[in-house]
Amino acid sequence: MSEAVLLLRRVRERSSEGATGARRKRSRRRRFYPEHRVYRARSSFLDLSEEQVLRRYRLDKAAIAGLCSELGSDLESLTGRSHALPVAVKVTSALTFLASGSFQTATRDTTGISQSAMSNCLAQFLEALQRRAARYITFPVPVPTAGHAEGRFPGVLGLLGSMHVALRAPSENELAYRNARNYHSMNMQVVCDSHGTIINVVAKYPGSCPNAAVLENSALARLLDGARLDGLWLLGDRSYPLKTWLMTPILFPCSPGEEKYNAMHQEALSVLKQTCTLLKMRFRCLDKSSGSLQYTPQKVCQIFLACCILHNIALSRRMPLDLAEGEELVEGSDADPELPVQTPFVQISSEARAVRARIVQRFRESLT
């Protein structure tokens, strides 16, 4: 037998040995599944009382059922497995996380869902709700008013402010997310009406971004700059510049009319502060005292938008905030980290000053 034939035979023998070894390794990697797998039972929100549902999910049974129906097309599992997660489990798992801010609590309460499955449920829920944001958060069409109620700030179209949501330090551009109180956050712009319903949200800017810059780069500012508002405006604190459609406090009031203007302005703007406090109490994941959100900035913005939508749903159904045991409502917790100081670099137009002067004149006349 020639040397070439012997060499070829040896090569074939080695290759067959290698294949046998690979098959043995693959067989060792195979995961053993018992013939009859045991699945943990999953509880349903329908088995709970109305009080328990409100405390756990921050929504009532009818609202949760409505969400399951509306989001069902997006959350329905495409797998044909008999133990795929139902839509109701995905919705209630996400709601429990938003209400508590803890994956561990959400995993325990929904019984039978792992933390990785919980993460997938949350991602699907946020995506589905974000697609429907325009149904629940809408800015009203400006309609001129004939007059104003006695004892209130006239012509209020909405209340403008910001809310910082803490998050873990991002891996890229970390300093941009560090706010004035030296923790990492997203600066969320919020506009609500006099009833506390959220009518506009801008959720995409890091914590170091000033309130005025967020407003100037928003679609809301472009909309109001191009509109001809007759006696209507937003109200904002001193971190925003005075505009014809945005009334801010007078920094140094020097007359009874200006003091009355500031007092009425502060009273009207208190609704926004109450709304932000209620939002954090209803959805603990937004409150820094419950810890920073361990997600990317984009995911944190999705979470905030979802909480705003759910807040409006709860408000429209007049749902009470039923706090869990050990929780308490604290006014003004985790205040806005940006100091409310008038921005000196923004040039205020004479037209904006004239609009504010006319409002001050109204208050001066009401005092006489």
Local confidence band at 309 (pLDDT 50, 70, 90 cut-offs): very high
Residues 99, 189 within the same domain: no
pLDDT for the residue numbered 31: 54
Q: Mean pLDDT, the chain, as a whole number?
A: 82
Kindly state the tokens that stand for 362: 């109204």
**298 & 164 share domain:** yes
Q: Is 265 helix (H, G, I), strand (E, B) or coil?
A: helix
- What is the count of structural domains for the chain? 2
Confidence of residue 230 (pLDDT cuts 50, 70, 90): confident
In a domain, 311, yes or no: yes
Structure tokens at 223: 């909309």
**CA distances for 200 relative to 31, 63, 307, angstroms:** 50, 22, 13
Which DSSP state fits 194?
T
Q: Is residue 141 part of a domain?
A: no
User: Angle at CA 69, nearest 5°, toward 67 and 70?
Assistant: 65
Query: Looking at residue 341, what is its pLDDT?
Result: 47
Do 218 and 115 belong together in one domain? Answer: no
* Residue 37 lies inside a defined structural domain of this protein: no
Q: What is the mean pLDDT of residues 233-242?
A: 94
176 and 234: one domain?
A: yes
Q: Where are the beta strands (DSSP E) in 74-144?
A: none
- What's the pTM value of the predicted model, to 2 decimals? 0.82
Asked if residue 341 belongs to a domain, the reply is: no
Q: Is 274 inside a domain boundary?
A: yes
Among the ranges given (38-47, 51-60, 305-314), the one the predictor scored with the smallest mean pLDDT: 38-47
Q: How far apart are CA 141 and CA 15, in angstroms?
A: 76
Statement to judge: residues 112 and 178 lie in one domain? no
Q: Do residues 309 and 160 share a domain?
A: yes
Task: Note whether 167 and 301 are same-domain residues.
Answer: yes
pLDDT in tens, 275-292: 999 999 999 999 988 789
Per-residue model confidence (pLDDT) at position 52: 86
In-domain check, residue 3: no
Mind listing the pLDDT tens digit for each residue in 181-212?
999 999 999 999 999 999 999 999 999 999 99
Q: Residue 261 — pLDDT band, cuts 50, 70, 90?
A: very high
Tell me if residue 158 falls in helix, strand or coil: strand
Residue 275 lies inside a defined structural domain of this protein: yes
For 47, phi then psi, to 5°, come to: -80, -10
**Structural domain of residue 170, as residue ranges?**
156-317
Classify residue 169: in a domain, yes or no.
yes
> Is residue 99 located within the same domain as residue 186?
no
Q: Which residues contact 87 (CB under 8 A, 6 or more apart)?
A: 68, 71, 72, 75, 76
Residue keyed to tokens 């959100």:
293
Strand order in the sheet with 156-166: 198-206, 185-192, 156-166, 233-235, 246-247
Query: Phi and psi for 322 in degrees, rounded to 5?
Result: -95, 100
- Identity of the amino acid at 331: E
Average pLDDT over residues 245-274: 94
* Pick from 5-14, 122-131, 352-361: least confident: 5-14
